[in-house]
Structure 1
């Protein structure tokens, strides 16, 4: 039975603004809906940024109805699936709470079959104030955890798992948006639930490649009839009879041998062939595009320190690229067309690597799919930047789930080259009075979080390297890597902050961040 989409028009209201009752498209954000219906000015123009802050200082309610499908009566579960829920959200179905969300980077799935009813059903998403919740969480911390003062205009965003630059940055406006930015759906489950598929590659001396496909599924209810799991890779298909008599989560594997593989290469080094992979179980399926390639990070000790070289198919790659921040302050403007144009422009500018900056977001699927297609390697920061972060048990447990969700979603992309713990958080230990006064305490606090990130990534994706921070000189090095190009990566600010000439860029081994300001276009000067 097919998935039922909840995308489209919802009704938007606010308890603080009873005169507002307008349509809101989901996926989408509250600010964009208000702009579309002439309730809010363009926040980019003039001084409008300060005039639109009332939106984030209000609660918002999204509501829609849907009709019961009689075929659901034969199902054993009906999963509500959604992601990119920003951020503090309570979801009710027919006035019953079915889900509480508090992490924009989690991927949520919950069974709502007990709550649906014959006829019309009403689903509601209530979005609470993020600034109020951030302050509450900060008050409960056992000791002060400095937030990104100087970047964020709203305090304590480091206590929330939300895009950090939504609260403003030195290059961007403060627009504390909220909404749901990915597709929402109801997925009927009869006997089995297809959970995830992961691939690993082993390259043999004869040049062939063994691709192992590992699939996790859940047997929701026992059945005497075995299910058939079908795995198809390129022109090879294999079927596996999976027993259905035991409920719970199960795992199956199959290995394909590709005798003459076409290798995936970064832009400028070769082509980007992609092989189709489909895993099907009953009426559920997962489809991916797989690139066959070797990838390692060479950190071999050398005469001046150590290397920091990405190796693809045993070839050293000269990394050329840029940092990537969110495409727009308004999530509704993150369109596939804009992603394609910018990434194609990057390749046209001879780039072959993009670093997804830790103060933004794990990008949408379209971003990674385009990078696979175009040959752009991805340095993937985890979402921490320019602040210190809690290491309380609740915070660590929530972030661990987030990281597992994201690594499982992204690990099969051939473009993904590296996992990195954060942006400039090691350096931030030296920025704030509290951490400077008790550096050892805050280093331990940092290590608790960063070590958990490293362990979780290693469990979910042992095929790639984890780099503790950007910049960083290596594992368990908590020193200042900003100006050290002997090992690891560095953030090269000598031109931006110190006024050196552009020629200074040529002396850097691997700069994972540098700034170059451009003038505003004429259309902005209004």
Structure 2
């Protein structure tokens, strides 16, 4: 028989040190100390105001979780305690006997406990040592390692961003963060199942490699079935490894979103003693409760994936079709990952799809995500680039660290490899660059830094367990250890001189093969900011606002980044709108520039899609799940078809499966709307292609740059280019009419411009935190109209919805 029993009820939490004064607090499993203390009312919300700073003691405390459960001997030969996630330094005790000591948040564990179980009440206790104490002790033993932050995260296999990042708080967690339960079984169980899915011509090939753990010495039957095809093999007594090959004739292929459909095929693998397998096949088995075998089920998709690296390129190729990546970096969606439900993931991944993304990079300072994450990506057609969890630091390679890294890699490669959305294993984030370019080599003085992981251990594990998809040592990386790692002309590049030092026009100097990380900051939605910073609206430069800005000199960089692009803000409302707008413009400029360079450039992965708490950051979706203006800008820049001005050329980008034909109309206008020059260009852009349309001097040369602009229109797509920065344009004071009328589910707002209106934006969350708008940042020429739909659960005040500070534009009239 085989039975799994979750052990999630009846837990309590106690601080081992009496002076902390926390004992017997009801605890949620899965969960963590912070969420348990918060639920008990013993701490304030770590995400609000300055509460984070008052909670550092939690990560320096030893905590004990304890529960009691009843066990009545069920006749099973074996009973295992299965721990899907222990965060992080844990001693596991059953009825007072130590079962194991663990040191890795990123892996799962299975411990045989049949001999420790008692009839009746059993006590399970998990004691979590201080992550800080453990990491600092290892650092003292091994010698310090350089990194981006003065925290000991390289010395513990734990989510690095728990220790704070330039967008995240320092909230160092402990707890049973993934399910825990008791698995009773007899006969045999499937210890691991590795489906190697490939294409053989038009047919699908599934090579199932199964590892079996035995509680019986007799022969076993191992079966596999997918797509109506079944295979079976026998294991003789003492054998533990089975290989079954299934060929599925002409399966439907799995494609990235925008390239085709995402059909998924259920795969079932079973093991049973031979006599049971025979009885089951004949239908004679009396009761499934008596089965002493095991079954594994999961979905797979048929597709091929490879990297095209010819000539320095970095192109993801799926089913022999090169894919232009329109992606974003993904960070943990909450500092307390047990709070991230499937429904929350569905919302966030839906926002990625809504912004026309086709890839998420699971960044190396976070986690191997939950099964729900990859399952949803499979169903949505979102490609997944998976970093191994190493980021922005030199990591020690001494034991037992290396053994832990190999164990976690094996665990997660096997767990995730069935997912067709997963297309790339990546060794680390920025560690190769740090070693070569950030002065780490001198500081290390010969100490290990992780090279053995990225160039040996991890590629070896991937080659052994999952040879069906590519491995890349790190990002940025140029393809060989002796090449400059952050060379735009080869492999992947990260672009951080923009934001840190340079104006965002600097993006125009880049011609990358694949831009894997770049971004620009902006504040969260107003409702998010005001929830996090309570009381009176904070003044610019106030400590209250600074607590939710984690980047070094971030507030100064935000203001400096406005450059000559936008005027100086006069208060919080202006600062909020202008810095959000500048963030959107910076990424629009970069994305359009790089997409216009296809196929030389074959991917952009912006930093970042999401936030883990309410913060001023690079995200498109803030920590309260609200879409920032950047999200709308990315949606436009990532559309299948794009019209973009690039120097003296209009580039038409067609990332759809069909040819795009039509007429391109380019007009030079006075700010008053009077046409000064116009040309029409018939065009035909091939599928997955780009077409540059050079413009004559009459369209690219202004008689008065401060008083003119150019528009380009192809069908329902358009682009606008000004000849001068906004601070130099002679904008008229905006003259517009705005009306609001109730419609089912919200309000329709109609805006008609009598003058030029630059970057019109609507912020309904200022009136109701639940309200959201369907579009943002629209520039109107005189006479043009824009319609917005505001979704809200309650009616909104029409007058407030159509005036400052809810309705904004660059050249607005506030009087």
TM-score normalised by length of structure 2: 0.60
Report what 2:215 is aligned to. Answer: 220
Corresponding position: 1:471 with 2:473: no
CA shift, 1:280, in A, is 1.9
Within a 5 Å distance, the mapping from 1:37-436 to structure 2 comes to 37-71=40-74, 74-141=75-142, 143-149=143-149, 155-205=151-201, 207-223=202-218, 226-243=219-236, 245-246=237-238, 250-282=240-272, 283-301=293-311, 306-430=312-436, 435-436=441-442
Distance 1:203 1:434 in 2: 43
Report SS of the residue matched to 1:169. Answer: coil
| Residues in 2 aligned to 1:65 and 1:185: alpha-carbon distance in whole angstroms | 13
- SS of the residue corresponding to residue 401 of structure 1 reads helix
> Is the CA contact 1:91–1:124 (under 8 Å) kept in the aligned structure 2?
yes
Q: In 1, distance between residues paired with 2:136 and 2:497?
A: 36
- How many pairs are equivalent? 505
Q: Is 1:462 the equivalent of 2:467?
A: yes
Counterpart CA distance in 1 for 2:198 and 2:245 is: 10
Distance in 2 between residues matched to 1:128 and 1:55, nearest whole Å? 11
Maintained 8 Å contact 2:196/2:466: no
C-alpha contact (below 8 Å) 1:8/1:27 kept by paired residues: no
Measured against aligned partners, the alpha-carbon deviations of 1:61-91 in whole angstroms (never above 9, x if no partner) come to: 11111111221xx322211111221100001
Equivalent runs, 1:470-509 vs 2, <5 Å: 470-477=475-482, 479-481=484-486, 484-497=487-500, 498-501=502-505, 504=508, 507-509=511-513
Contact 2:94 2:122 in 1 (8 A): yes
What runs of 5+ residues in structure 1 fail to find an aligned partner? none
Deviations 1:480-507 (A, max 9, x none): 41xx211100002243221223863984
- 1:430-483 per-residue CA deviation (whole Å, 9 max, x = no partner) reads 5766633567x35x64322322222222212112221111100013236341xx
Q: 1:512 aligned to 2:502?
A: no
Larger radius of gyration: 2
The RMSD of aligned alpha carbons is: 1.9
Q: Per the alignment, do residues 21 and 258 of structure 1 end up closer, same or farther by CA in structure 2, a change over 3 Å counting?
A: same
d(CA) in 1 for partners of 2:450, 2:235: 44
Summarize the Cα distance change of 1:162–1:490 in structure 2 as closer, same or farther, 3 Å threshold.
Answer: same
Q: What is the distance in 2 between the residues matched to 1:321 and 1:44?
A: 28
Distance 1:312 1:430 in 2: 32
Deviation at 1:18, TM superposition (A): 3.7
Counterpart Cα distance in 1 of 2:59 and 2:144 = 25
Displacement of 1:189 after TM fit? 2.4
For residues 59 and 200 of structure 2, what CA distance do their matches in structure 1 show?
Answer: 55
SS in 1 for 2:296: strand
SS in 2 for 1:92: strand
Is 2:8 the partner of 1:7?
yes
**Equivalent residue of 2:11, what SS?**
strand
Return structure 1 stretches of 4+ with deviation > 6 angstroms.
none
Q: Which has the higher contact order (CA 8 A, sep 6+)?
A: 1
Query: How far, CA to CA, are the matches of 1:53 and 1:445 in structure 2?
Result: 28
Secondary structure at the aligned position of 1:31 is classed as helix
Q: Distance in 2 between matches of 1:84 and 1:163?
A: 12
Q: Is the 8 A contact 1:468 1:475 kept in 2?
A: no
Q: How many angstroms does 1:47 deviate by? A: 0.6
CA distance in 1 between counterparts of 2:475 and 2:468 reads 20
CA apart distance, 1:208: 1.7
The offset of 1:334, in angstroms, is 1.1
The secondary structure found in structure 2 opposite 1:44 is: coil
Distance 1:164 1:517, change over 3 A: same
- The answer to whether the 8 Å contact 2:488/2:510 transfers is no
How far apart are 1:329 and its partner, in Å?
A: 1.0
